Structure 1
Amino acid sequence: MEEWFHLLRNPIHNCDVVTQERVYRSFSRYVYKDIYLIVYDRQLTQDIIQEAFFKISTLAPRLRSAQNILGWIRQVTRHTTVDFLRKWKLDRQVVSNIYDYIKVGTSEISLVEEVETKIRNELLYQALSELKLDYRTMLHMCYLEGQSYREISKVLNLSETALNQRMARARKKLLKHFLSKWADCDERKSERSS
């Protein structure tokens, strides 16, 4: 899987189209979670991945050493994300002023948002069902039933400190499962549109 980063050492435009696509998809999978955990927006994450890939594919052939190239890729990606967010924040202010004067077809937007919300919820429930029973129980009691940590700790016969630690682990596992499903869903959509 990680052989792709060695291909970055050569100019990417010298590779055939199939290899270029494979390198890009592998790169995208490698950095997706890092970027998504910063921006929490799928489309913005995809935009940043494209920009980071362009930077890395331009800079990589000039690297003197391949040592710790994966760390370098993550560092460039993080810097690209921060730069992108700074620029995006300025652009958003300009765009929000424009939207004050333009009416947007809200029915289209609400339909897209509704479909995306439904897909996200289905994937979230799938990810939840893959967790261990005690993690599922704690998360269900807290987020779906609205019980407090004190109430949950009494029912499960745990100290609040232990519950807090287990909840943190459960949320981390849930996020990991969910993000992998979300990335897979996103990849399937891009394959269908190709």
Structure 2
Amino acid sequence: MTDPYKILGVTPTSTEDEINTAYRNLVKQYHPDKYVGNPLAELAAEKIKEINAAYDQIMNNRKQSTGQNQSYGYSDNNQNENSDFRKVRMLINSGRIIEAESLLNSIQVRDAQWHFLMGMVMKKKGWYDMAYQHFERAASQDPSNMEYRMARDNMGYSGMQYRNVGNMGGYNDSCCDGCQTLICADCCCEMCGGNLIPCIGCR
């Protein structure tokens, strides 16, 4: 395997925070969600595997002195993952969101991974507030999972942007707003001798 420090763009003297930051940036860059339907999807998936392996190797080496040895990286290919959850991921990645949601609803154990995957479903459906709530639950139930924390943080930022745009009228405009605009335009037109919206009696 290539030097894991080179893969992450860090050095053996880098702090854990620096390594975590480098890892997060690389996962954001090559995250599968960015390559759905893209011919580079397979290359991105391979890159994610390489990044995860490098991160795991570095972190496990640093934890050996305390007797800890675990997988830290993006868990898309986690061998210990529940088979139903693996199927849900496959359904989400293939765009079969309704099937993924149905399968999740049939699972009784609502652990951190369940909430993370349901958050992914909600995000795909455009229900950003609900997606954030599930990501928040996932991260709180398993705070050591980098994937869950990144999803929560990214969704929090994206959701804030969405709500800001909505508050400026991008998403909250009602049909009444459109009617009011037409009425105002008609009044202005009549003041100038025209008639934007002719009434029935004038025909």
**TM-score clears 0.5:** no
> What TM-score, normalized by structure 1, do the two folds share?
0.25
> What TM-score, normalized by structure 2, do the two folds share?
0.24
Identify which of structures 1 and 2 has the higher relative contact order when contacts are C-alpha pairs closer than 8 Å and 6+ apart.
1
Which structure: greater helix fraction?
Answer: 1
